[in-house]
Chains A and B, each alone.
Chain A
Amino acid sequence: MLSIKNLHARVEDKDILRGINLEVRAGEVHAIMGPNGSGKSTLSAVIAGKEDYEVTDGAIYLEGEDIGELAPEERAHKGVFLSFQYPVEIPGVSVTNFMKTAINESRKATGREEMPANEMLKLIREKSELLEIDRKFLSRSLNEGFSGGEKKRNEIFQMAMLEPKLAILDETDSGLDIDALRIVANGVNKLRSEDNAVIVITHYQRLLDYIVPDFVHVLYNGKIVKSGGKELAYELEEKGYDWIKAEN
């Protein structure tokens, strides 16, 4: 699904990613953990194509295709989805209108007709029921005045609507209480399938109790310094990151 080879990236003159290698196959869930400033959010932004970051070396392949030169929207059309740590507000644009635009732009880009209104309504109904989202919520302005939990649920709702091949969840657990965390995690679990893959970026182990990863990677100083199964997350929880820092 996703193959990252020797990825180096910098912002302004600061090297942040210093040689990332990562293989994610369809059906897998990978967790990327690491202390603050290790490059976790940079990695997700670089995969999504944010232009503030300059890729200085290495390559990113999605289903065998090098996507390194594609614009963010083109990557989205190919099935890359990023759940933002801080979703932005767009006043006056309802969640429904935003999703309608996103879906139809993706369809247009891939040479398909716009989704008929009744089909769109059906999809919205289906996905909002799946994620237990009140339909009233969908007519509100995108993220405006949303609580932390509502914002993250909205991200997962968008993921459900867009049905990406690769979903990257950037610190989806930050700012959530335990109930909101459970709802969001349940949503992600319902969307998992043999055809898609999920990368969970998190600082803490607690999200991984709900979204159980197949692999855990530890990012430190722009490199993956340790990889293992889900038990690695518990080890980190117990020992903290100082242990990693000391070894590197």
Chain B
Amino acid sequence: MSKYTEEELKIQLETKEYEYGFYTDIESETFPIGLSEDVVRALSLKKGEPEWMTQWRLEAYRAWVEMTEPDWANVHYEKPDFQAISYYSAPKAVDPSKTLDDVDPELLAMYKKLGISIDEQKMMNNVAMDIVVDSVSVATTFKKTLAEKGIIFCPISEAIIEHPELVQKYLGSVVPQKDNYYAALNSAVFSDGSFCYIPKGVRCPMELSTYFRINQAGTGQFERTLVIADAGSYVSYLEGCTAPSRDENQLHAAVVELIAMDDAEIKYSTVQNWYPGNKEGRGGVYNFVTKRGICEKNAKISWTQVETGSAVTWKYPSCILKGDNSVGEFYSIAVTNNYQQADTGTKMIHLGKNTKSTIISKGISAGKSQNSYRGLVQIGARADNARNFSQCDSLLMGNNCGAHTFPYIESKNTSAKIEHEATTSKIGEDQVFYCNQRGIPTEKAIALIVNGFSKDVLNKLPMEFAVEAQKLLEISLEGSVG
């Protein structure tokens, strides 16, 4: 008799193992562990970078050495030993000049397990894939179609060499090297990532997509993403991640910079499903990410994220609304289970007149996890008629998890209008019984309730991503009912 009580719900939630926890054995070329100026130089050399790039990295490294790791976030973890990490690894089987058919079959098998069939993606989803496995891009598709419109979409390592004028001008323009501890580290040692440039007035005809993956034992991964939308252009960028199961903690410190020039629009969507650790809280990815975009006149940036993975998350995709009439949006679903900890939110910096921002954050906590929303809405003195609407909802499952909200509001302009709404609710036995009585089993009932709770954000995702995200929510929260 599969009756439902809060106790049983808790047990169910705790018995779901990570579905993508496997490890692919690919021969890798890996640097010895440790970080120094020499390692930074060697990394830059290895990638055949020009001198200005090497110097840029060294500047970041020197700044990083002087900085201390921040500890203001509402998360507790053992600080990583940065000298115990290897800062470069590349799957050996890769030769960029080859086609997909020549790619290591084990690698292809790995994508299959993850449900990422490149050909299928190409044909059915109209998505150009730039797949990053352990720091080096192994396959880039659709490049031709994009090139016809003048769109550049390539690994950032390639952009540094092929388009130095763009990279040199914009890299670090939104997230400076010294911005914060992890951004400085990333600037010094970033391995690879994606670069995207949309020319003036061009509407990118497809969703651009990147899948990231951490694979090598003990290898930190430091992605760098730079998206530049020139005046009047539009691009929608998708980023989705999964990672294999590991015992030791893996560090991930990415930096994403978005530049939306006058009248441009960037939609940036993330589904993050890195290994969250096991149910005792062992292992799992540390996800310390800096994501920020700048909006010029009439520009718009939307961040949408579905965060279900990682042991510790520290992430605040932000918008600097510099231009008049610019718009920033942040839509987030953060799910924590077992011992996961998430401290995530956004910063909306209103500098221009008539700037508008919207924040919708949905936190779902289960097990013994802690889920915090941290947000800053800042209205500058010049930002007349700035408007912000924030809504932070928390859903709790069981009695051992926590939900926290830290909204900061700073306004230097009396014409600003700022609204903040917050709710906390719990999945009730009554809700589940009501569903049961209509013939809906408990597992399905929880999925239904969670999806309903997250709907406002799921609706913001591109169609094919929304389906995947919905599945991910179910995987993250449901146990197989015994």
Interface set of A (CB-CB < 8 Å, partner B): 48-52, 69-73, 76-77, 80-82, 84, 87-88, 90-93, 97-98, 101-103, 105-106, 109, 141-142, 158, 162
Which residue from A51, A82, A90 sits with its C-beta under 8 Å from B449?
A: A90
Chain A residues with CB below 8 A from B2, complex form: 71
- B460 CB to nearest A CB, Å: 14
The reply to whether the CB of B453 lies closer than 8 angstroms to some CB of chain A is yes
The complex places the Cα of A207 from the Cα of B1 at a distance, in Å, of: 36
Q: A69 touching B1 by the CB < 8 A rule?
A: yes
| A92 touching B440 in the complex, CB below 8 Å, given contacts A51-B3, A71-B2 | no
B438 partner residues in chain A, CB cutoff 8 A: 76, 98, 102, 158, 162
Closest chain A CB from B361 CB (angstroms): 15
Q: Is the Cβ of B439 less than 8 Å from the Cβ of A92? A: no
Tell whether, in the assembled complex, residue A93 and residue B449 are in contact, meaning their CB atoms are under 8 Å apart.
Answer: yes
**A82 cross-chain contacts in B, Cβ below 8 A:** 437
Residues of B at the A interface (CB closer than 8 Å) are 1-5, 428-431, 433-442, 444, 448-449, 451-456
Which residues of A lie under 8 Å from residue B1 when comparing CB positions? 69-71
**Is B5 a contact partner of A51 (Cβ separation < 8 A)?**
yes
| List of A residues within 8 angstroms of B454 by Cβ | 92
The reply to whether A73 and B436 form a contact with Cβ atoms under 8 Å apart is: yes
A225 to B268, CA, bound (A): 67
B243 → chain A closest CB, angstroms: 30
Beyond A76-B436, A76-B439, is A71–B452 a contact (Cβ under 8 Å)? no
Given A51-B3, A51-B5, A69-B1, residue A92 in contact with residue B436 (CB < 8 A): no
Report if A92-B451 is in contact (Cβ < 8 Å); known contacts: A82-B437, A84-B434, A109-B439. yes
Contact A105 B440 (CB under 8 A): yes
Residues of chain B lying within 8 A (CB to CB) of residue A109? 439
* Contacts known (A51-B4, A88-B431); A73 close to B441, Cβ less than 8 A: yes
Once A69-B1, A70-B1, A101-B448 are accepted as A-B contacts, the answer to whether A87 and B434 lie under 8 Å apart by CB is: yes
Kindly state the separation between the CA atoms of A20 and B449 in the bound complex, as whole angstroms.
35
Q: Smallest CB–CB gap between A87 and chain B, Å?
A: 7
Could you show 11 A-B contacts with beta carbons less than 8 Å apart?
A: A50-B433, A73-B442, A81-B437, A88-B428, A88-B430, A88-B431, A90-B448, A101-B440, A102-B435, A102-B438, A162-B438
Q: Residues of B contacting A142 with CB < 8 Å?
A: 452
- In Å, the complex CA distance between A162 and B437 comes to 11
Contacts A49-B437, A93-B452, A98-B438 known; list 16 others, CB within 8 Å: A51-B5, A72-B3, A72-B433, A72-B437, A73-B436, A82-B437, A84-B434, A90-B449, A91-B452, A93-B449, A98-B448, A101-B448, A102-B440, A105-B440, A106-B439, A109-B439
